[in-house]
């Protein structure tokens, strides 16, 4: 996606990327809040679109829709700490790749 829309969005694919680019000195701090607000609004719109699509299936239930899975909701009973560590590692790799390909 960085190559596909980088020239349009300046590589800001989510909150983490915007904050990481700012922390890496590649984005001005004065714009971070505006980008985050825009990303939250666009994320909510995307969630609504996914909800409208998924809710068209017979038997659809909102309960587990697009939720993180830990504890009793985890397929293998992973803890919240395991979920958090996984998120941090995945985000690090994602941001590392973006910073690398856009250097």
Q: Within its chain, how far is the Cα of 25 from the centroid?
A: 21
* The token pair that represents 52 in the structure block: 């409208």
Map residue 91 onto helix, strand or coil: helix
**Looking at per-residue confidence, does 49 or 91 come out higher?**
49
What is the per-residue pLDDT across 23-74, written as a single tens digit (0 to 9) for each?
888 788 888 888 888 888 988 998 899 889 988 888 877 766 656 667 676 6
- Helix then strand count (H, E) for the chain reads 4, 0
**Looking at per-residue confidence, does 50 or 10 come out higher?**
50
Correct CATH for 2-101 of 1.50.40.10, 3.30.750.24, 1.20.1080.10, 2.60.40.420: 1.20.1080.10
Determine if the pTM surpasses 0.85. no
């Amino acid at each position: 996606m960085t190559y596909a829309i980088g020239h349009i969005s300046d590589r800001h694919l989510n909150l983490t990327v915007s904050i990481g680019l700012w922390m890496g000195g590649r984005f001005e701090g004065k714009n971070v809040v505006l980008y985050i607000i825009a990303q939250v609004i666009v994320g909510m719109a995307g969630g609504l679109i996914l909800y409208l699509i998924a809710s068209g299936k017979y038997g659809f239930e909102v309960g587990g829709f697009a939720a993180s899975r830990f504890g009793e909701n985890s397929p293998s009973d992973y803890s919240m700490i395991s979920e958090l560590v996984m998120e941090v590692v995945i985000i690090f790799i994602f941001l590392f790749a973006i910073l690398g390909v856009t250097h």
